[in-house]
Amino acid sequence: MNKGEARSIAVVGLGYVGLPIAVAFGKIGPVVGFDVNKKKIEELQKGIDRTGEVSKEDLGLAQVRYTSEPADLKSTNFIIVAVPTPINDALQPDLTALQKASELIGRNLSRGAIV
């Protein structure tokens, strides 16, 4: 990123952690909120948060463009990854969602972007 270049943020994963982060940054400036769950995106576009983490008012105030299109990540230069890493009975994390998100981001990463 060059000095003076506009900074743009994306949050990948709009669950209990990612959505509040996207909304908080969205109160300051435009944010791309990405999730692979198209139904979740449709609900967020209508102001519905099934996690209950963010109020309808805050969803309306935030400048978040909700999308499930990976190519929309190309317009951003800071990407925050907030996908689930649940643990199993042996207390080992399941990194599947993180691996898939990393691959998706890698295919849609702009030169100089920070993840």
What domains can be seen in the chain, in order of their start residue?
9-107 (3.40.50.720)
pLDDT of 57 strictly over 70: yes
Q: Which is nearest to 84 in space by CA: 93, 72, 73, 71? A: 93
Q: How confident is the model at residue 7 (pLDDT cuts 50, 70, 90)?
A: confident
Tokens at 71, concatenated: 């190519």
pTM exceeding 0.85: yes
pLDDT tens-place string over residues 91-104: 999 999 999 999 99
pLDDT of residue 5: 59
For β-strands 31-34 and 64-67, DSSP reports them as parallel
pLDDT tens-place string over residues 71-90: 999 999 999 999 999 999 99
Share of the chain above pLDDT 70, in %: 95
Distance CA 87, CA 30 (A): 33
